[in-house]
Structure 1
Amino acid sequence: MMNRFTYSVLVCLLFVSNTLLAQSRTVNGTVKDATGSGVPGAGVKIKGTTKGTSTGAAGEFKLDGVAENATLEISAIGYETQSVSVPASGDLSIILKDAATSLDEVVISVGSRNSKRTLTDTPLPIDIVSTADLKSTGQTTFDKALQYRVPSFNTVQTPVNDATSLLDPYEIRNMGPSRTLILINGKRKNSSALTYIQTSPGRGESGADISAIPTEAIKRVEILRDGASAQYGSDAIAGVMNIILKDRFEYGSVTLNSGVTHKGDGGVAGITLNNGANFGEKGYINYTVGLSHVGLANRPGVVSAEAEADGDLGFGAPLSDVQAFLKLKPDAGNINGSPETAAAKFSVNGGVGIGANSELYYTGAYVFKKVNSFANYRTPYWRTSDDGLLHAAGTPYLGYVPTFEGDLNDYNGTIGVRSEKNGWKSDVSFTVGGNKQLYTVSNSRNRGLGKNSPIQFKPGGYEFSHKVGNIDLSKALSEKVNLSVGSEFRAEEFTIIAGDTASYATAPGADSFPGISAANAKTSTRYNFGAYVGLGIDITKDFLIDGTARLEKYSDFGNAFVWKISSRYKFADDKVTLRASISTGFRAPSMAQSNLQLAQASFVPGQGIQTKGIVNNNSPQAFLLGVPKLKAENSVNFTAGLGLNPTKNFSATLDFYSIKVDNRIILSSEIAAGSGAQAAALNKILEDNGIVAVSFFVNGINTLTQGLDFVANYKNVVLGKGKLAFNFAGNYTLKNAKVGEALTPSLIKAAGQSIIDATQEALLLTSRPKYKAILGVDYVVGKMNFNVNNTLFGPTTFRQNGLNANLKTVFDPKIVTDLGANFQLGKSLTLGLNINNLFNIMPKWNLVALNAAGEAILKDPKQVFFNTNLITFNGRYSNVTYDGSHFSQLGTTFAANLNLRF
């Protein structure tokens, strides 16, 4: 495959070289807007060919090899594309007109199904992130690039968390990964098959695998920061992310990516081809193929021998034995940081005209990703024997480190027809999508099988798929009234895949990841039908009201009715906009939350690795514990904001949001046998069913999340021969808290236990930064572009399992500085360089007292020693703690990319 790909690139380069030799004319010109300011980054292409260039900081360009009778096409985001004949002189001055639809299309696709609105007119807060913005971060994946461009978006890798290493949990506005709806070209993307069940942010939820989307395939990203259940149905409580793929073909490109951390690990190597073709005025195809490999980056800590030998913190082993091993391996052999990842990605976006008023369109994407990570090292004083399976006879037994390997397949595709007739616009489409994950555990053993245990296991996995049909219709009933109606049918399937028998046959199962038993393997299905109606009314040219109502019917839990009203009013010659919206929303329980049942292995501070269980809500055990069937979450969203555009070079928005969620679905804390007479009833049920400790999904809490979003941009500041642009964006969480008491089933509550403990509450509500801000400066001069971005990560708070109840763990605010530069080396060659985390800032956490008792603990070195080692697994996770942190722990990284256009 690689040889064919390389051959294709060489053929393309040879074709370009022959074209250059056959043409020799040079055209010089400038591209400006209606105010006379130069338009940087505009595309200048010879019509009918793939040959072209882009403008510099002042809108200037130079294009060689242009035929005498050639026509140039000039395009830029926010402007109408223009075709210009080349004059005899070869010099051009082009004035671009503001686009009547390009930016309007951005808003209609995520903000409203009614009339088109420009960004300054929109009644809802929307972020627009271009491909150039994403690539300028130097990050290796789409989700990590968003982390450094959108303040309300957060994601970070967590150490040694099994399947979590395949895709990291992300969220907008601290609402969890399952409350942001992901769209591809306006169509729902499938969720991941993985539900996060470990001690990490996003616990108990699933999200789409956005890291699988190749950045080079993206035209722009639209993020609607407002509830949108009325428009799109379930999962849009926190907002909507719409990923727009490249469409009309402008030029082909090959991009080479490389990078490495300051410690010389985590090496990046990748190659991506973006290419396509146009067919007449409406037909096009644009496709992207990418191959990448990211090496392992390891950031273990130094392990405390005293803590390891301690009976409460560690393993109760003789201190001399522990010291002897740690002398050989000071980090206890642990490997944590960033796993080795290899990926192959493909996407395609195309369309073809059907008659004068219709278009057939299609999109498709597929990714295969393989991740190799590691479990905690089983030291020889922890696992005292491997029965001769994992070390050679006659050699000292030094323990073993099990691997955790994951194979991920993710696909999605849409085919549809857009038409316009008699004033009606219609869009009929069918979408399929799926995600499958299979796991492998190597260099491990099932201790219950003794010498008969294999050392490699296939512990099973998960698969999710959906099929979605959409019909959307809209019509302008008058100059001031717009109507939209539509419906959606969705069928979903979730499969739990059993592992090989040896991975679960006897307790405790395979070290690292006990297999999924045949008894817990199952396939579940459901369907839902939804319909909406929307009305947009321009009361005046400045005053707009939009309203939408939606009804949903699910086969597994019932009905949902939601609505939304939004408005905006602009004045002072459109320089000031007031906007607000209020809506109700819902989120259906995911298929995994309704059906997942398994044994899981996880690290319990002070107790080591333990195997516990999850029972689903349809199980006899859940019925006996009084756990009710899951129902939909319900929300009330309110947003109010101000938009300012006092000059053509300055704009700013400030938005307040409030999101109240009732019946929020959580994965409960572990329910175990208690003491005392009041726990007798619970203890009997647990004992009769052989349950040591159990968790389950439940509509467990009500929450209220409130905050502020601020965005400001100031551009075209002349400095020397170039221009500066400043951008500042921030998110501040005013409140993210549980409202009222947990909704604990009566039997469990009577036993003095709760479905949510301090650890789970912290993961849900305080494990993302309380505030985050990004200050960026861009400088464009000639064919060079420089940028510096400072990202402030606010504090996060954890309450680890076993941590003294009078303490909490707080990660300090930190500023991460990134530098980037792009150099136009020739007409078709661009070099990009990035230094991320320039000053090698690492997460720093502290134990913080909650009260006077906590202050006394912090004054006692012995208790500080105990609690510090408890949350770091005796020093294995000294950088980030086992629960993770608010940003990456790899330190300074270097990245470079070389882009060749043809």
Structure 2
Amino acid sequence: MIDRERICARSGLRLSGLLLAVGLCPLAQADEATGDTQLQTVTVTSSKTAEKARSNLRTVVDSATPIDIINSEQLLKTGRAELSEAISKLLPSFNFGTNIAGYQSTVRPLNNRSLNPAYTVVLVNGKRRHNGSVPASGSTDNSGHNPVDIDMIPISAVERIEVLKDGAAARYGADGIAGVINIILRSDPYGTHVGTSYGQLYSGQGETAKFEGNTGFALGDGGFLQISLDARKRGQAYWLDKADSGYRAYFEDDRQAAWDHRALKNGDPKLKAYNWAYNAELPFSDALKLYSYGTYGERRARVQNNFRLPNSNASIPELFPDGYFPLNNIEDTDYQVLIGGKGALSAWDWDLSTTYGRNRNSHSSDLTINPSYGPESPTSFGDLATFQFEQLSTNFDLRRTFEAIPLLNFPVEMAMGLENRWERFRTFDGDPLAYTVGPYTYPQYLADGSPNPLYAAYGGRTAIGAQAAVTIRPENEADQQRNTTSAYLSFVFKPTKRWDIGIAGRLEHYDDMPENENFSFNLTSRYELTDTLAVRGNVGTGYRAPSLTQIGYSVTDNRTAVDADGNVVPALRRTVTPNNALAKALGGGDLESERTKNLGLGLTWQPASRTSVTLDAYVIDIDDRIMLSENLYDRQAGNGAFGDVLASQGFARTDWISFYTNAFDTRTRGVDLVADHWTPFGRFGDVRWTLAFNWNNTTIRGRASSTPAALQSQGIELIGHASEGTLVSASPHTKLILGANWTLGNLAVNLLNTRYGSVETWQQNETQDRSFGAKWLTDLDISYTLFNSLTLSLGGTNIFDVRPDKNGIDNPNGGQAVYGNPPFHPAGGAWYTKLAYDF
């Protein structure tokens, strides 16, 4: 353990010295009078911009860095969407991933500026939110970072969301290189809202029912307590093609002829969830306020998987004579509690808080077997694997405004603070019957004396392990801990009425990293060229230590995989830790920290109080970017050089191996454009128009890994073409959102048109790369309020039933990737109705 007092003191002294010596150890923040962009405890921006947030401002023009604001009404009008998908519908730089199979089905990445969630800090009321426990390992994010599960926060609890879209590593942590999401909880001391909704996909699948409610109470003199609850239920939905007519599932022709050729039911899992939250503040005097918030959520998901064919080596006819669709059962439990106090002492504003959060993810399975145990195999497994992440953070912040200091004749805003963050990632092993090798082999003859076709096809050998399941063995268990202590110092200068300058620096100490002390800085500036036009910019650096999941995650995954030729095949996939002896033999090793740099330049224009436009360009460099390797296997069925390497390390020659490694140096460039205008039409009502556009492009600047000879002989790269594609082509390069919100008395009509640019899905075999064209999606919500309290709504998402191009590899088992990895939900249109009562 480290000496916290010594580290904090040393960090603060060193940081102060660097700031004074360099004179511009930069920033990412803001203030009440200067329009500075510091995400404070209760409001993300200053009190000035917070006022505008409450009046439904779409984008902030008087901030030194770009900030977008989403209010609760906009979130609730996104239809079927949960919180993370709702954000992606409303912000052009965010895209929502489409993991639609397996145990990552409930972890869908919310990418910002084509960067995965590892580079965006998530706050609740200005305080860091704890991460989830499951590493990202899906179609568009193979980083292994465990992102914050935003969907465990009830939408009904959210007053607004404020998104700072530029680097903020110096103020909020070195992982904030792409920006910050600050979720502001409701703080009304009065009023009650109750709402319910029902809807489904046009196909009739995915039936969705929701309930939401929140109520407020007054506490003391000027305090409040807000309580919120969401509950939702969603039915299963799948939309993939049926298997090719020549694809065989049965040995017998009569059963083959009767088969419906449905080999895949991957898609949206069946889901039940509820989330609860409270937010409270109790003032004792002008000098002291106590505050607290908490969230609690449970989610139960049931995930379909690929059909285990009766003629495959995963079949045990005595148990499932017609084959089976294995089911993954995923149980998530998530909670966070924060307690803090704030007030004024002399000329200083102070804020002290502590928060603890935990996410636990447990796996079980039904309608599955471990074929190596034959007819004696269980057909359900109550404990396959458990993942858990904990975080305890304590923050102390001070702020003060100096009207003038020596040598300077203008105001200076100063902020400083300390943070200590403890994190722990653990995994727990499951039922040995799920992963051990049983004694069963297929008999040569059936009970009636006829030849057993399974014996003839597979030489008696069955598949091994519980099918369609992730399992953790005792040797896979992880227990990774980290203690991070940091100090920051920032200044905001206003040399003239038109010019703001902000500088900030942050020193962080990681107790588990070789380079355990690291410095990040940020410099921002905004200058008003005229009363309506201003230029702004920022430059900064960041440092992201490997996530504990990237360091310690190790599982066995018995599902299917895509081989180097693009075929979907059964595979026993083993993810090993980066410092495992096998990983080192294959070019891996201890992970290095990622180094980041960001640069931004923008214009803001507000020609009238009803109109605002912001245009911001950015460049983000990330060195030693961490990714999951390709699926590494022996293409010579275990008889090649790679099989020898596996055997030498105690692995089966037919295992598929992957691990996390420093892969690429990347550069991301882009432009954000946001415009907001309100038009009054007199007796015909008012219309609020919005336009939001993002262009971004990621390129590979260099490779941080090399392929060992044992893999080169197989024609497989350690980090290959497919992995590169997830960075440079899997997210759309452009996204355009056009919105119109018309209100006429008690009638409100909200129309949202979104254009997603084209995307590409790359394979290890470049000849199988596929592109998917740009698409327009239209959402519509119509509501009417009766008696000033009862609101009826009818709406639809993707009302014209637009689907992604069917341009994926058409495998004979049903085209698992026929839609590729689209940036929007591939199931088509959906309708919903809502009833809400406010009193």
Aligned pair 1:880/2:819, yes or no? yes
Aligned pair 1:576/2:533, yes or no? yes
Provide the residue aligned with 2:838 in structure 1.
Answer: 901
Provide the residue aligned with 1:420 in structure 2.
Answer: 344
Between 1 and 2, higher relative CO (CA 8 Å, sep ≥ 6) is seen in 2
Q: Distance in 2 between matches of 1:136 and 1:225?
A: 23
1:405 maps to which of 302, 313, 329: 329
TM-score, normalisation: structure 1: 0.80
CA offset at residue 613 of structure 1? 1.3
CA offset at residue 637 of structure 1? 0.3
Once the two structures are superposed, the pairs formed by residues 251-330 of structure 1 within 5 Å of their partners are 251-306=191-246, 308=247, 321=253, 324-325=255-256, 327-330=258-261
Q: CA separation of 1:880/1:753 partners in 2, compared to 1, >3 Å: closer, same or farther?
A: closer
Aligned pair 1:738/2:700, yes or no? yes
Q: Distance in 1 between matches of 2:303 and 2:103?
A: 9
CA offset at residue 110 of structure 1? 9.2
What SS does the aligned partner of 2:415 have?
A: strand
Query: C-alpha deviations, 1:298-332, integer Å up to 9, x for none?
Result: 213121133x35xxxxx8x87x74x9536421323
1:664 maps to which of 625, 628, 637: 625
Query: C-alpha deviations, 1:265-307, integer Å up to 9, x for none?
Result: 211112222012012433110010222111112213121133x
Provide the residue aligned with 2:72 in structure 1.
Answer: 131
Query: C-alpha deviations, 1:813-863, integer Å up to 9, x for none?
Result: 00001111121111211122211111111111437xxxxxxxxxxxxxxxx
What SS does the aligned partner of 1:192 have?
A: coil
Q: 1:879, 1:889 within 8 Å by CA — same for their partners in 2?
A: no
What SS does the aligned partner of 1:528 have?
A: strand
One-letter code of the match for 1:437? N
One-letter code of the match for 1:767? A
What SS does the aligned partner of 1:248 have?
A: coil
What SS does the aligned partner of 2:476 have?
A: coil
Query: C-alpha deviations, 1:210-229, integer Å up to 9, x for none?
Result: 11111110000011101111
1:503 maps to which of 421, 425, 434: 434
Q: CA separation of 1:223/1:326 partners in 2, compared to 1, >3 Å: closer, same or farther?
A: farther
Provide the residue aligned with 1:517 in structure 2.
Answer: 473
Q: 1:177, 1:202 within 8 Å by CA — same for their partners in 2?
A: no
1:465 maps to which of 370, 385, 390: 390
Once the two structures are superposed, the pairs formed by residues 140-155 of structure 1 within 5 Å of their partners are 140-155=81-96
Once the two structures are superposed, the pairs formed by residues 482-493 of structure 1 within 5 Å of their partners are 482-493=413-424
Aligned pair 1:248/2:188, yes or no? yes
Q: Distance in 2 between matches of 1:354 and 1:430?
A: 19
CA offset at residue 202 of structure 1? 4.5
Q: CA separation of 1:111/1:538 partners in 2, compared to 1, >3 Å: closer, same or farther?
A: farther
Once the two structures are superposed, the pairs formed by residues 90-109 of structure 1 within 5 Å of their partners are 108-109=39-40
2:761 maps to which of 798, 807, 812: 798
Provide the residue aligned with 2:372 in structure 1.
Answer: 448
Q: CA separation of 1:352/1:429 partners in 2, compared to 1, >3 Å: closer, same or farther?
A: same
Q: CA separation of 1:673/1:702 partners in 2, compared to 1, >3 Å: closer, same or farther?
A: same
Q: Distance in 2 between matches of 1:292 and 1:143?
A: 15
One-letter code of the match for 2:276? F
Q: Distance in 2 between matches of 1:611 and 1:834?
A: 44
Q: Distance in 2 between matches of 1:338 and 1:272?
A: 22
CA offset at residue 360 of structure 1? 0.4
Q: CA separation of 1:723/1:112 partners in 2, compared to 1, >3 Å: closer, same or farther?
A: closer
Provide the residue aligned with 2:18 in structure 1.
Answer: none
Q: Distance in 2 between matches of 1:894 and 1:546?
A: 47
Q: Distance in 2 between matches of 1:335 and 1:103?
A: 55
Q: Distance in 1 between matches of 2:619 and 2:214?
A: 41
Q: CA separation of 1:362/1:170 partners in 2, compared to 1, >3 Å: closer, same or farther?
A: same
Q: CA separation of 1:110/1:127 partners in 2, compared to 1, >3 Å: closer, same or farther?
A: farther
Q: 1:110, 1:242 within 8 Å by CA — same for their partners in 2?
A: no
Q: Distance in 2 between matches of 1:114 and 1:876?
A: 48
Provide the residue aligned with 1:360 in structure 2.
Answer: 290
Q: Distance in 1 between matches of 2:413 and 2:35?
A: 15
What SS does the aligned partner of 1:740 have?
A: strand
Provide the residue aligned with 2:828 in structure 1.
Answer: 891
Q: 1:480, 1:538 within 8 Å by CA — same for their partners in 2?
A: yes
One-letter code of the match for 1:217? A
Q: 2:690, 2:739 within 8 Å by CA — same for their partners in 1?
A: yes
What SS does the aligned partner of 2:70 have?
A: strand
Once the two structures are superposed, the pairs formed by residues 781-860 of structure 1 within 5 Å of their partners are 781-801=744-764, 803=765, 805-846=766-807
Query: C-alpha deviations, 1:473-519, integer Å up to 9, x for none?
Result: 11112251111111110111111111111111127210011421112
Q: 1:742, 1:755 within 8 Å by CA — same for their partners in 2?
A: no
Query: C-alpha deviations, 1:224-253, integer Å up to 9, x for none?
Result: 101111111132121110000001323111
Of stretches 197-206 and 541-550 in structure 1, the one that deviates more from structure 2 is 197-206
CA offset at residue 339 of structure 1? 1.3
One-letter code of the match for 1:240? V
Provide the residue aligned with 2:482 in structure 1.
Answer: 526
CA offset at residue 423 of structure 1? 1.4
Once the two structures are superposed, the pairs formed by residues 678-757 of structure 1 within 5 Å of their partners are 684-691=644-651, 692-718=655-681, 720-733=683-696, 735-744=697-706, 754-757=717-720
Q: CA separation of 1:105/1:560 partners in 2, compared to 1, >3 Å: closer, same or farther?
A: closer
CA offset at residue 875 of structure 1? 2.5
Q: Distance in 2 between matches of 1:113 and 1:174?
A: 23
CA offset at residue 876 of structure 1? 4.0
Q: CA separation of 1:718/1:107 partners in 2, compared to 1, >3 Å: closer, same or farther?
A: farther
Q: CA separation of 1:165/1:364 partners in 2, compared to 1, >3 Å: closer, same or farther?
A: same
Unpaired runs of 5+ in structure 1? 1-99, 310-314, 391-396, 848-867
One-letter code of the match for 1:708? V
Aligned pair 1:539/2:495, yes or no? yes
Q: 2:37, 2:46 within 8 Å by CA — same for their partners in 1?
A: no
Q: 2:334, 2:360 within 8 Å by CA — same for their partners in 1?
A: yes
One-letter code of the match for 1:875? G
CA offset at residue 206 of structure 1? 2.1
Query: What is the root-mean-square deviation of aligned Cα atoms in Å?
Result: 2.5
What SS does the aligned partner of 2:474 have?
A: coil
Identical-residue share of aligned pairs (%)? 28
CA offset at residue 891 of structure 1? 1.3
Aligned pair 1:644/2:605, yes or no? yes
Query: C-alpha deviations, 1:517-554, integer Å up to 9, x for none?
Result: 11211322111111111011001111011011111111
Q: Distance in 1 between matches of 2:529 and 2:314?
A: 75
2:354 maps to which of 430, 450, 475: 430
Q: Distance in 2 between matches of 1:530 and 1:346?
A: 31
Q: 1:176, 1:202 within 8 Å by CA — same for their partners in 2?
A: no
Query: C-alpha deviations, 1:140-169, integer Å up to 9, x for none?
Result: 311121121011111143322x12112312
What SS does the aligned partner of 1:109 have?
A: coil
CA offset at residue 744 of structure 1? 2.2
Q: Distance in 2 between matches of 1:748 and 1:628?
A: 17
1:566 maps to which of 508, 524, 530: 524
Q: 1:255, 1:272 within 8 Å by CA — same for their partners in 2?
A: yes
Aligned pair 1:171/2:111, yes or no? yes
What SS does the aligned partner of 1:380 have?
A: coil
